[in-house]
Structure 1
């Protein structure tokens, strides 16, 4: 399927509902923790407990299961999407090649290779790895699976928020991390009138920059969370969805997100990667509104030690 064909199909709420049915035999319905921090109540969606260690498995499976079977799947990733694709390919008995930037964390690279997928390091950024992966996929029987600018991937990611709403209908805001925008867009599709809070680090703010410009634009990528949130430009499809269903765009500093990561460990023994702590950082700083908000802890694929011991 061509990029033009993909971009012509903006996913809908019904697509999220269908994706939940499609992927149900293969994914975990991750727990929802009703928690308090300093007397403030919030829900934590523990998506870091998903198979492959992040929500990315959902979108990868939905895309592979809803399209004609191919001989080989190719993708590019900062790590988590690559691991989701590699895990999905292993589940479905497909060979996969994952292109990653040279800066990929060792833990993510090791886990991708452990699935049996071929790992190719290329370039300094996600964009450079994606260009090489797209070229490699341009051969018979191969298919390139985009990390976020793909309707089936977005619909699959939306199943995270759909589970939250099904479990606790009174939730009124869901905060998620933003890289290329697939999770935020899927969340906006899934939660009806509730607020989507799209959180980024100051030095990886492709959605915030796009909203200012009125269109996707290239942005700076330089954050402790860049290995997972390192897209240099918001996806065309996610941006279109987030214009139709506006999200609250929120920014956090690296110091805030690293402190939030450490607090997740101290309070709950949740070993989250920096990118997964981004929405929790926004909540801690009072930038997530709602009487009963939910923060999605979206991934745990890194080897880390707390900032403070």
Structure 2
């Protein structure tokens, strides 16, 4: 299980490379953290830099061979762009459900793209075969210590920008960003983990008390469609939810609520996000989560890899 020290170390490693993303106000006590402004259009750049820079420093990554990634699209794009910047090749395995926008951007970033099967697990299996063939290092979309620690750097940044924040709301797919936040935030800050009803990976695991496989679908499945929560994120989620004063709450929202939140971001702030990013805000706009009157909430807008025409 990663710790605050791990997050701090990753933050120090990647700070020269990642962007400090801004905060804006949705309402007097609701802040928006614009992580879609990160390189690659999502928070995933943080973990990609952390994984690849650490592997280069340790000698694990051979620059002649490069990296292999399995991803619904966003992690693959982040790793492809970071690999291009650092000067080594990247191969990305994506499921058939990956959006056309993301596949085009992967190829434009210089990655060799393999579309395999229907879901993430199909792409993952193919990526492991490729790693065995080539000796490239594998970069997981959400379940490696460096990936979580890099994602957790957003927690350190957010607390500097908004030291009075009480609650952070985050969309959940495989649990990498959730785990990073739980490791990087002060213990007194609550986390509201939001998933669509079609991708209830965390919600189902918490209900069962263990990791379980779920069927995934719906408007955010191309980004949040992991069929099982990552083991590292799960350990942090268990620790955060298994106390009398639990700091983690799991919330589900409908596809319609996500699309409404996505449209509201455009209508009210001229912000374009993908459905996965709007999922966290949808918990507020739909009433699935109602903050206390004195509660200061920060919502992580995690990505914007979509076509503007699909929002406007």
TM-score of the pair, normalised by structure 1: 0.93
1:303 matched to 2:311: no
Task: Give the distance between the partners of 1:204 and 1:263, measured in 2 at CA.
Answer: 22
* 3-state SS of paired residue (1:237): helix
Alignment correspondent of 2:205: 210
* Further displaced range: 203-212 or 134-143: 134-143
Q: Residue 46 of structure 1 is aligned with which of 14, 20, 34?
A: 34
Alignment correspondent of 1:226: 221
TM-score of the pair, normalised by structure 2: 0.92
Tell me, which stretches of 5 or more residues in structure 1 are unaligned? Answer: 1-9
Hey, which bits of structure 1, 4+ residues long, moved more than 6 A? Answer: none
Q: Residue 289 of structure 1 is aligned with which of 275, 288, 291?
A: 291
1:187 matched to 2:178: no
**C-alpha RMSD of the superposition:** 1.3
Alignment deviations for residues 213-247 of structure 1 (CA, whole Å, 9 cap, x no partner): 11111001011000000100001110001111232
Task: Give the distance between the partners of 2:26 and 2:261, measured in 1 at CA.
Answer: 15
* 3-state SS of paired residue (2:198): coil
Task: Give the distance between the partners of 2:284 and 2:114, measured in 1 at CA.
Answer: 37
C-alpha displacement of 1:139: 3.2
Task: Give the distance between the partners of 1:92 and 1:213, measured in 2 at CA.
Answer: 42
Give the conservation status (yes or no) of the 8 Å contact 1:262–1:306.
no
Task: Give the distance between the partners of 2:282 and 2:310, measured in 1 at CA.
Answer: 15
* 3-state SS of paired residue (1:240): helix
Tell me, which stretches of 5 or more residues in structure 2 are unaligned? Answer: 242-247
Alignment correspondent of 2:97: 103
Equivalent residues, number: 296
* Further displaced range: 236-245 or 255-264: 236-245
Give the conservation status (yes or no) of the 8 Å contact 1:108–1:301.
yes
Give the conservation status (yes or no) of the 8 Å contact 1:156–1:186.
yes
* 3-state SS of paired residue (1:183): helix
Task: Give the distance between the partners of 2:26 and 2:195, measured in 1 at CA.
Answer: 23
C-alpha displacement of 1:135: 1.2
Task: Give the distance between the partners of 1:139 and 1:288, measured in 2 at CA.
Answer: 51
Alignment correspondent of 2:69: 75
C-alpha displacement of 1:306: 5.0
Task: Give the distance between the partners of 2:179 and 2:281, measured in 1 at CA.
Answer: 19
Alignment correspondent of 1:26: 17
* 3-state SS of paired residue (1:149): coil
Alignment deviations for residues 173-202 of structure 1 (CA, whole Å, 9 cap, x no partner): 000110000001111111112001110000
Q: What is the correspondence of 1:112-191 to structure 2 with a 5 Å cutoff? A: 112-191=106-185
Give the conservation status (yes or no) of the 8 Å contact 1:159–1:186.
yes
C-alpha displacement of 1:141: 3.1
Alignment deviations for residues 8-51 of structure 1 (CA, whole Å, 9 cap, x no partner): xx211111111111111111100011232xxx531000011111
1:57 matched to 2:59: no
